[in-house]
Chains A and B, each alone.
Chain A
Amino acid sequence: MRLEINDIHVYYGKIEAIKGISVVVNQGEIVTLIGANGAGKTTTLKTVSGLRKVSSGQIIFDGQDISNLPAHERVEIGISQVPEGRGIFPGMTVLENLEIGKYFRKNRASEMSEDLDRVFTLFPRLKERISQAGGTLSGGEQQMLAIGRALMARPKVLLLDEPSMGLAPMMIQNIFNIITEINKSGTTILLVEQNAQQALQRAHRAYILETGNVVKEAKASDLLNDPAVRAAYLGTGAEHAV
């Protein structure tokens, strides 16, 4: 697996939200994109998953230019996105949400119980709530469900958009631990976060985005110790943060 975002430009109407971003994600890595609100992190992920189209530049996946592949076909080749705000189907049960994560693998019914088991091992709490409506779960449980649902598709690369958003500190730790675990078991991860401290601690490499541009690219541990980065993205009290 190798994902290359190659000098992409993305517009909303006449507004250029992404002004030439290049990112590389290698097999087995956790790569994080950090940056302030409005920097273009979500738009970048949506362009990788196919929800937004590039106006120029390419998305290269395993050597193939997939810039014009529709979103639903990108899931089939191994790109799954956990959207910002989780995107749970509120009127469906936990089980239905998970099942629909495998929607396109229609002839692989035998995989279903295997994959459900894997998700329930990662998130035992989902198993307890299997027939509860997705919309009635807590924020943390919804995040678990969103990640579990994406895993049902057996992605090669998992795109995570602010998984820590709106969660209590304990739950944030919990979610990041699981992200690390998913990565260790072989899934490559592209992680978008505003919680830069956590993201940099977990990731191998990082890109800093500002108003549609990459302004810095480095090993995550280097950025954690970079005074300028600390001042701008981690705040002065960051040493004491969870």
Chain B
Amino acid sequence: MNFSVVGSQFFPLLINGLALGFIYVLVSVGYTMVYGVLRLINFANSEIFMLGTFATAIVSTSVFKFNQNSQPSHGMKLFIVLLCCLLASMATSGVVAVFVELIAYRRLRTKGANRLGSLISAIGTSITLSEGVRILTHSIPVASPRVLSKFYVFKIHGVGLRIDQLLTIASGLLLFIAVDRFVTKTRMGKAIRAVSMSEENSKLMGINLNRVISLTFLIGGLVTGAAAFMYMTVYEQTVFNVGFNIGLAAFTAAVLGGIGNLRGAFYGGLALGLAEEYFSALLGSQWKEITVFVVLVLVLLVKPNGLFGEAVQQTRV
């Protein structure tokens, strides 16, 4: 074990952990919102993320003609390119999420199928999407050319905050706050909360259940798509199964925070991002992925309701 690394690298690890953590937070929101209304783990969320990463890669290379030799952009052009990539990822993931619900879950739900049926459909959808992209890309990773030159926004005593990290942290935080406020303050958001507390009683309020469920998948997808864009600005590469690790980590983060609970996804995502960075510094980077599994198993063993488990139960009467 290398404790001195954790000490000397405390702040850099913190920044890396937060950037990773906010990506997890947003993907967790995708899992947790769907779980909140349907009590279903949407396994296809990892592929909804994956398709979002490809959207950014395709827009930057095909629309804006970036390639591995082109120079990073600046000024207005940079802003437009990033914005277009972000919107493309969000739209792709959002639309795919809505269609996944329509095609893979809705009929099962209206026919009164049990949870296991939906779960199998979720896994099937996930495999179908990732295998489809595997065939289209011949399993070859797709690099996204560097649009944003990764300069340091500031650097103090060797501790620097890179622009892509700053973007990820700031926009992750803003998006999360936006979703949280939408759900707690707006009329449609309250309908989502009502459905998550009771489907039957929501119908008695005149709430159109199918519409609320579509809206929930849309929001979950949009946020997951934003995470996909951030992932691409930081890691600059994607592959058909990129969603597997991220999806598993985000799902773990959701369980850690208490699945179905929006703020749980926030704290769970950040905690997991930080844990991954610190543990891999401590034990060696080969342990990075294993951290996720260990956390998942520990939470399920010790506190299956997650950190905010009680709040989750309260919303489930």
Contacts and interface: CB of A to CB of B under 8 A. Distances in A.
Interface of A: 49-51, 70-73, 75-76, 80-81, 83, 87, 89-92, 96, 99-101, 103-106, 135, 149-150, 153
A103 B207 contact: yes
Interface stretch (B70-78, B195-203, B273-281): B195-203
A42 to B, nearest CB: 12
B86 to A, nearest CB: 30
A90 B190 contact: no
Nearest to A76: B206
Q: Which of B190, B194, B204, B315 is most buried by chain A, counting CB atoms within 10 A of its CB?
A: B204
A183 to B, nearest CB: 20
B205 interface: yes
Nearest to A149: B205
B198 A89 contact: yes
8 contacts: A72-B203, A75-B205, A89-B193, A90-B317, A91-B311, A96-B190, A100-B190, A149-B205
B219 to A, nearest CB: 18
Shortest Cβ-Cβ A-B pairs, 9 listed: A104-B206, A75-B206, A87-B201, A71-B203, A91-B315, A90-B317, A89-B197, A103-B205, A72-B206
B209 to A, nearest CB: 7
Contacts of A90: 197, 314-315, 317
Nearest to B204: A81
B285 interface: no
B209 A72 contact: yes
Contact of B194 (A83, A89, A153): A89
Contact of A91 (B187, B197, B203, B205): B197
Contacts of A75: 204-206
B201 A83 contact: yes
- Contact count band on B: 20 to 34
A99 B193 CA distance: 13
Contacts of B317: 90, 135
Contacts, number: 73
Contacts of A103: 187, 190-191, 194, 205-207
B35 to A, nearest CB: 15
Nearest to A82: B204
B68 interface: no
A189 to B, nearest CB: 16
Contact of A72 (B187, B198, B207, B315): B207
A48 B311 CA distance: 34
B2 interface: no
B137 interface: no
Given A76-B206, A103-B207, A153-B206, A91 B200 contact: no
Residue among B205, B207, B209, B311 facing the most chain A CB atoms (10 A cut-off) = B205
Contact of A106 (B187, B205, B311, B314): B187
B190 A92 contact: yes
A71 B190 contact: no
A49 B190 contact: no
Nearest to A71: B203
A15 to B, nearest CB: 15
B208 interface: yes
Contacts of A70: 203, 208
Contacts of A81: 204
A45 to B, nearest CB: 11
A83 B190 contact: no
B140 to A, nearest CB: 47
B39 to A, nearest CB: 16
A52 B194 CA distance: 20
Interface in B207-231: 207-209
B187, B194, B203 interface centre (most CB from chain A within 10 Å): B203
Contact of A87 (B193, B204, B208, B314): B204
Contacts of A87: 198, 200-201, 204
Contacts of B207: 72, 100, 103-104
Nearest to A96: B190
A149 B206 CA distance: 12
Contacts of A105: 206
